[in-house]
Amino acid sequence: MILFVFVIVSCNKDYNVDCTTYDYSNCNTIEPTNADVTITITKQTKDSKVPVWLYKGKYGNSQELIFFDTILDVETKFNLQLNNDYYAIAKYYKDEKTIYAIDGSYLKKVGKAVCDSMCWIIKGDIIDLRLKN
């Protein structure tokens, strides 16, 4: 009796990738230490400005105020250090009431081996301070 054992060895973690023609244009092969975080707000009128506070740390345990100002654009980007918690607060006025929108995220990098390279993906890069209807 002859027994054949086949062992497939590959350093490629994604077996559906053709390494001879892989397009690395969407792959950040340089390990990042910082990343852009996008904060989105709701514009109540065309020229309305929204006060926004951005903190390093978890909500309720604020460690460091990074930014405080009024924002006019719906999306504003901040370049922040990875492997940290961040949260933001926006202050709105609606129907003679003050409404606070709060959101936060843990900003991190995740590596994915593709062929002979490591592609770095950023997670936690959006803080959504839009008003809910």
96-122 pLDDT, tens per residue?
999 999 999 999 999 998 888 899 999
CA 60 to chain centroid: 21
Give the chain's domains with CATH numbers: 33-128 (2.60.40)
Mean pLDDT confidence for 38-62: 90
Confidence bin at 11 (pLDDT 50/70/90): very low
87-102 tens-digit pLDDT = 999 999 988 999 999 9
Mean pLDDT confidence for 38-57: 91
Residue in this structure with the two tokens 């397009």, named with its chain if needed: 23
Q: Is residue 47 scored above 90 in pLDDT?
A: no
Rg (Cα) of the chain, in Å, rounded? 22
pTM over 0.85? The answer is no
If one compares 32 and 61, the residue with the highest pLDDT of the two is 32
DSSP E strands in 1-133: the ranges are 34-40, 50-58, 61-71, 75-81, 84-94, 97-114, 117-123, 126-128
Rounded CA-CA distance 43/65 in Å is 23
